[in-house]
Amino acid sequence: MFKKVLIANRGEIAVRVARTCRALGIATVAVYSEADRRALHVLEADEAVPIGPAPVTESYLNIPAIVEAALRTGAEAVHPGYGLLSENAAFAEACREAGLVFVGPPPEAIRLMGDKSAARRLAASHGVPIVPGYDGDSQEPEALLAQARRLGFPVMVKAAAGGGGRGMRLIDRDEDFLEAVESARREAQRAFGDGRLLLEKAVVGARHVEVQVLADTHGNYLHLGERDCSLQRRHQKVVEEAPSPAVDEALRRRLGEAALAVARAAGYVNAGTVEFLLDREGSFYFLEMNTRLQVEHGVTELVTGLDLVALQLLVAAGEPLPLRQEDVRLRGHAFQCRIYAEDPFSGYLPSAGTVAVFQPPQGEGIRNDVGTYAGDEVTAYYDPLVAKLLTWGADRREALARMRRALDQYRIEGIRTNLPLLRAVMAHPVMEAGQVTTDFLETRFTPEALVAAPVREALLSAFGAAVSGALGQGDPWLALGPWRPGGLVALIVEHEGRPWTVSGRRQPGSTRRWQLTVEGQEVEAIFAPGPDGRVLVESGGRSWPARVQLLPDGLLVDQAGRSFHLLWHRPEPTEARAAAGRAEGHVLVAPLSGIVVKVAVEEGQRVRARQTLLVLEAMKMEHSVDAPADAVVQKLHCRPGDRVREGQVLVELEPEGARA
């Protein structure tokens, strides 16, 4: 076994690999950019080497710098993690040429399966079903449009050189095709250095199921069952589980055989994943093979009892796999929720900033894979994944119940996260029934579900404690600072990075009964105060006790075994400018910090409502800035390549007709 391994990655996966190396007695070397000088993966490693500036192309994708760091520190092997250089054949070759062991498949297999068009043809030639599509050489937009018309809409456009949702678009209509292809090609070029695309007929209402495979240099191949990754947003996985609730033993065997057929055909070695679409009739189709460890490998570890990173290192060291197919047993059920620094209430825009509070839940059946800590800085340079929460149970029901409780206990403050989304989807009846498909978030999930009942109830508790005198502060409004125009009382606070409002009036003739609006929903509530900030709330046919504490920065609400830290809402200047700009409709500001990758209009040009004016890139994804109404472009304040900060003015518009 190796004595020292360099981990060519960052974030939670670098911490995860370091943890297994430590358990095996292997010393670790971290690499870091200037922006990651205080990152958790740097603190967890035995030694760390700087490799360049913050932009990923100048640091974590800098092959010469990483190889030199490995040689300088005496590392014998390089573990690439996932993403970044993990599926880069040139990196695997550079390691081999430098005398370093690449903990992954050979470069030939990476190159073969990294070409998604070639991978499709390989799978089909070995009897594995594929989705009808186009993977030819002609890449002209009009030629691709002709192929899309042949297949029939909706179609899926994918990057031919890589996966992970980059360069992927679902296109429903002919008229949207050319613009979507242009955007997908740009994203693919930036992510993989290759803008080639392929087309597939979209399989509507399908599940995304993948099979974990392992292979060694002694000719041994085995699979570890499947994972269900159907809950996705913009083709990025959000929740995974193992095993899939849609797969029985017979289908599991067929999927495993197909996955191993692809792995053998590719001459694969080490850990990899073969992905399939599973339709409503139980037929499956090959999607791609990921030649690396997956983000969601943890759920497989929980149901098999195996450490996949340890097995990767063992295989890379030339040892045979220590188990056979008949030794693989699936025990219980596991879920994983990906926690992203993004705001589900603002179109999932990435969120950057300082993590003020970071308190993952603890308890039986709970696992935390984290890449941050309280005081850490989340930047716009990298992927927004900050942590993964995993739960295991003896069956699916127990694992799901543990996940729901764990999500309720998770506290992250200082940045916006998708925790409200995760809580809502894990409580959804479709998730309960195990019937999630890849289009769930787009077709069967409503944004209103994000305002979960526990948050509404915490807002009512805070409001009730204040207006009923339970806080014992004399006139509570002197401390709370809400506004009361015309007898209306309102409390505006922040929770998990976004403002929340509860407002209303006391009903005439009553001291405890209020008519309220909570985030746009009309409710009636009765508040009964108690000592030490305690209040009993009755609303919607339910009653619950809560304890509310007044803090310098807000309110702390304890109820139903969960704490809610509600901060005073103080709009930033950029927020005020953005609101004013939106209200007047003539000043558009950056919704997030990022890089301008495209300006689609010129000064003096007439534009229509919802027309894309420019495109920003942040955290590896594109975000369009659209015209709010018909207008004329008066002034552009940015050019392609400019780095802009959140709230910065980008475009000034003149409403149509204003010049008349």
Overall fold of domain 104-117+205-331 = D-amino Acid Aminotransferase; Chain A, domain 1 (3.30.470)
Q: Render pLDDT for 598-607 as a digit per residue (tens, 0 to 9).
A: 999 999 999 9
- Which of 509 and 122 is assigned the larger pLDDT? 122
Q: What is the dihedral sign for C-alpha 31, 189, 164, 341?
A: positive
The answer to whether residue 583 scores a pLDDT higher than 50 is no
Identify the active-site residue in 76, 288, 301, 646.
Answer: 288
Q: Which CATH architecture has domain 132-201?
A: 2-Layer Sandwich (3.30)
Residue 579: pLDDT above 80? Answer: no
- Tell me, what amino acid is at 244? S
Closest residue by Cα to residue 417 from 497, 537, 472: 497
What is the tens place of the pLDDT at every residue in 61-93? 999 999 999 999 999 999 999 999 999 999 999
Q: Out of 3.30.450.20, 3.40.1190.20, 3.30.700.30, 1.10.10.10, select the CATH number for domain 453-568.
A: 3.30.700.30
| Superfamily grouping for domain 333-429 | ATP-grasp fold, B domain (3.30.470.20)
Task: Measure the CA–CA gap between 262 and 88, rounded to whole angstroms.
Answer: 19
Share of the chain above pLDDT 70, in %: 92
User: Is 12 marked active-site?
Assistant: no
| Mean pLDDT within 551-578 | 70
The CATH class for the domain spanning 581-655 reads mainly beta
- CATH fold for the domain made of 4-103: Rossmann fold (3.40.50)
Cα separation, 277 vs 274, in Å, equals 11
Torsions phi, psi for 488 (to 5 deg): -80, 130
Q: What is the mean pLDDT of the chain?
A: 89
Instruction: Report which of 81, 65, 58 is spatially closest to residue 9, judged by C-alpha positions.
Output: 81
Q: Report which secondary-structure segment, H or E, holds 465.
A: helix 453-468
Q: In terms of Cα–Cα distance, which of 37, 57, 61, 35 is closest to 49?
A: 37
Q: Residue 561 has what pLDDT? A: 66
Q: CA of 320: how far to CAs of 95, 315, 326, 506, 624, in Å?
A: 22, 6, 16, 73, 50
For 247, the token pair is 């797969």
In the chain, the amino acid numbered 39 is A
* Tokens 């990476």, located at residue: 110
Domains 4-103 and 104-117+205-331 share a fold: no
* Annotated domain spans of the chain: 4-103, 104-117+205-331, 132-201, 333-429, 453-568, 581-655
Q: Which two tokens stand for residue 251?
A: 């289908």
Residue 261: pLDDT band (50, 70, 90) is very high
